Structure 1
Amino acid sequence: MSIEDRTATLSPARAWLVAFLAALAALVGGSLVLRDLVYDRFLWQYFWGPVYADAHNAVCAVKQGGATELLYSTNACSAVASNAVVARPGYTVVSEIGYAVTLVFMLAGVLFMLRALDLGNDREFFFALVPFMFFGGALRVVEDANDAAATTEGVQQAISYPLNSLIISPVIYFVVFGITLGTLLVAVFLDRRGVVDSYAPVVFVAGTVYLVATVGYIYLLVTDRLAGQPGTEAGFYPQMTLVVLVLSALIAGVVYGALDRYKPQMVAGVGLIGLVVLFGHALDGVANVLAADWWQVLGLPFQYYPKHPVNAFIISFTESTLPADVNAAIGDAWPFLLVKIVAAVAVVWLFDEEIFEESPRYAILLLVAILAVGLGPGTRDMLRATFAI
């Protein structure tokens, strides 16, 4: 059989696996043969270097002449030689495109895996994974608390390098995915062996346990290592979490109720999944608005500024468009909440009954991903403000 014939008979899942192995071979082979171009100036500069610098709380990491150096001032990073490879914590256009492509590719792989396991075509799969969205956001706050400890005089990091690289973006996404996948496979194994009646409650409970344990660890880390230390205002401000959760639930409930009453066809397809999606994105918006504009009312020690470019752009646009006295009265972050709600309503409207009838597994998997990009960052912002880190 020729290569063309073999390629033509490949199933989509096997084609995905071939593409994965080919990409992996290209990156590994390129790193060995063209180390400076493929590894140093692509993989290291845009992907691993930022994580390495972040793990050491450095302003940048510099690779030159086969050696890697960490620099801790902006001036030092700016003064490096022009032929040096410089990596700074955070995202770049190249890395964001790379992560977006990876996400889409991995979602396809997950879809093939779910088909092979005959999973993900029922709604209980979606609800079982909801605690893991909260868990992912909470695990990001462990990184934030760990970084805060590193920058506080007289306080040691609870998690040091290289272990702390596992909770730094984007590595943390793979860690959370691995934990979620492992939990799901164990639960399915128990279900099909007759040990439990259904895999979904096992997954839901496990995710809840991970979440509670993570938040408890953050509480102990903050109260034991950071609270009361000079140079930090870290502490416990539970009113932030309470207000965010209540307001998010109210907003989601009102919007979903209005849609169900006046435009029932918009929620007929998604059902209660739509309510959860609305809640997740409302939480992201509410947490940002409260931390940026209403922090004093809530008794938080300082104001939070947006980490994401879209949110920062919206605030900047509002500041430059509305009169100063209006911004002073109602704040300038509220349009972000409006954008999140409109986007969530659009998602609810797009996922009609026809999509679920034609490809329920694909629809549910996409909704899981859509919920994650709202609930995960929102949980992180909420808990950062709750612990003032």
Structure 2
Amino acid sequence: MLRDFFEKYFVNPIKYNTGYNPVNTLTYAIILGIATILVYKGLKKLKIKIDNAFFRALVPYMIFGAFTRALTDASVFPRTYITVSPGIYFLVSLIATPALLIPYKFFKDWRRVFSLFGWGLVLIDVAALLVNLQKVTFNFQVLKYFIPFVTIAEVVIYLLTKKLSIVRDNSYLFYVHFYDATTTFVGVDFMGYWEQHVVPRFLIGLTGTAAVMYVLKFVVLYTALWIMVKLEEEGEEEELLDFIKMVIFILGFAPGTRNLLRMLMGV
């Protein structure tokens, strides 16, 4: 009975690419929350400062995860439980953890070493693409839609920074999530893709357009950041809130980049 439940809600959606459902969505959200706290506590115990330099060092790992996921869609890499979402996040974490800890222990300029290793992973993905070009049919037509719509979306955020302090203080999060929303909008409304997540899929079906993603992203992000402002005012640890914002950034940048790369590779 338990095995059938697990296969129905967790195994089969990955195996048959049927998207997320309410059960696995809630479960993954809980796991993400727990993992965020555990990773944060681990970094604090090691006295690793969560700052802009650390954030920049993480960027190649975000690109690596998104690129690897897109290459899986293109059949360059085999489709397994750790090369698609949410497994790809565990795979990147499994690689990034020792890539962080070893330089931290043995190198003074450990951030640079950590970052360079991440860019090395990205180069491996590039090499994998180059030797498998026959599997890819590039479709640059997507840029005809993506460039104007992402430009409009980011201009809207820029204008909102003039009016709303929460948007102004966290503009990079709004910019990246509107970038992600644009990839979904273009993919679903113009390129024939479909949305895999439960709530967005419901809202797209309800409204008839993936442009609703802009509204959903803004409401959820603004609400989350408003709550974080209140928590900070009540004395919540600022560094923890900054780390949560880093996770929020990854949740916008990684899927958005995967979506864009997937569309560009025509898969």
- Same fold (TM > 0.5): yes
CA distance in 2, matches of 1:180, 1:251: 32
Equivalents in 2 of 1:341, 1:133: separation in Å? Answer: 22
**Map of 1:314-325 to 2, 5 A cutoff?**
314-319=203-208
1:138/1:380 contact within 8 Å kept: yes
Q: Give 1:344 deviation, angstroms.
A: 3.5
Q: Which residue of 2 aligns with 1:78?
A: none
Contact 2:71 2:77 in 1 (8 A): no
The verdict on how the C-alpha distance between 1:240 and 1:275 changes in structure 2, with shifts beyond 3 A counting, is: farther
Letter aligned with residue 388 of structure 1: G
2:60 pairs, out of 131, 138, 145, with 131
1:287 Cα deviation from its structure 2 partner: 0.8
Q: Distance in 2 between matches of 1:241 and 1:178?
A: 33
Question: TM (normalized to structure 1)?
Answer: 0.58
Query: Which of 206, 211, 218 matches 1:334?
Result: 211
Alignment correspondent of 2:38: 109
Kindly provide the CA deviation profile for residues 358-387 of structure 1, in whole angstroms up to 9, marking residues without a partner as x: 413211221122122222221222111111
Within 2, Cα distance between the matches of 1:379 and 1:242?
17
Give secondary structure in 2 for the equivalent of 1:236. coil
Distance apart, 1:175 and its partner CA: 0.4
Preserved CA contact (<8 Å) 2:180 2:252: yes
CA spacing shift, 1:267–1:127, aligned 2, 3 Å: farther
Does the 8 Å contact 1:120/1:365 carry over to 2?
A: no
| Structure 1 residue 205, shift from structure 2 partner | 4.0
Q: Per-residue deviation at 1:109?
A: 1.3
Cα distance in 1 for partners of 2:103, 2:142 equals 34
Larger RCO (CA under 8 A, 6+ residues apart): 2
**1:252 partnered with 2:163:** no
Larger Rg: 1
**What is the CA distance between 1:254 and its match in structure 2?**
4.9
User: Alpha-carbon deviations, 1:293-327, whole Å to 9, x = none?
Assistant: 334xxxxxxx22222222322222223xxxxxxxx
The aligned runs of 1:217-366 (5 Å cut-off) are: 217-218=128-129, 220-221=131-132, 223-224=133-134, 226-227=135-136, 235-238=137-140, 240=142, 244=146, 248=150, 251-252=153-154, 254-256=156-158, 258-259=160-161, 261-263=162-164, 265-266=165-166, 270=169, 274-295=170-191, 303-319=192-208, 332-352=209-229, 355=232, 358-366=236-244
Q: Over residues 190-222 of structure 1, what are the superposed CA-to-partner deviations in whole Å (9 max), with x where a residue is unaligned?
A: 4xx42x2xx44444444344334425534543x
Deviations 1:33-82 (A, max 9, x none): xxxx55x345555445655xx2xxxx5xxxxxxxxxxxxxxxxxxxxxxx
On the 8 A contact 2:9/2:24 being kept in 1, the answer is: yes
Q: Which residue of 2 aligns with 1:168?
A: 84
Give, in whole Å, the separation in 2 of the partners of 1:243 and 1:237: 12
The alignment's TM-score, normalised by the length of structure 2, stands at 0.80
> Could you tell me whether the CA contact under 8 Å between 1:144 and 1:384 is conserved in 2?
yes
User: Is the CA contact (8 Å cut-off) linking 1:126 and 1:364 kept in structure 2?
Assistant: no
| Number of matched pairs | 266
- Residue 134 and residue 280 in structure 1: after superposition, are their counterparts in 2 closer, same or farther (change >3 A)? farther
Question: Which amino acid in structure 2 is aligned with residue 318 of structure 1?
Answer: T
Distance (Å, rounded) in 1 between the aligned partners of 2:265 and 2:166: 38
Residues 118-167 of structure 1: per-residue CA shift (max 9 Å, x gap): 12442332333233333222221122112xxxxxxxxxxx5558xx4431
User: What residue in structure 2 maps to residue 211 of structure 1?
Assistant: 122
Equivalent residues of 2:195, 2:201 under 8 A apart:
yes
Structure 1 segments unaligned to the other structure (5+ residues): 1-36, 60-87, 147-157, 228-234, 296-302, 320-331
Tell me how far 1:347 sits from its aligned partner.
Answer: 4.4
Q: Percent of aligned positions with the same letter in both sequences?
A: 24
Comparing 277-286 and 343-352, the one that deviates more = 343-352
User: Structure 2 stretches of 5 or more lacking a match?
Assistant: none
The 1-side partners of 2:47 and 2:63 are apart by 26
Give the counterpart letter for 2:128 in structure 1.
Y
Task: Quote how far apart the aligned CAs of 1:99 are.
Answer: 2.0
* 1:94 partnered with 2:23: yes
Cα distance, 1:110 vs structure 2: 0.9
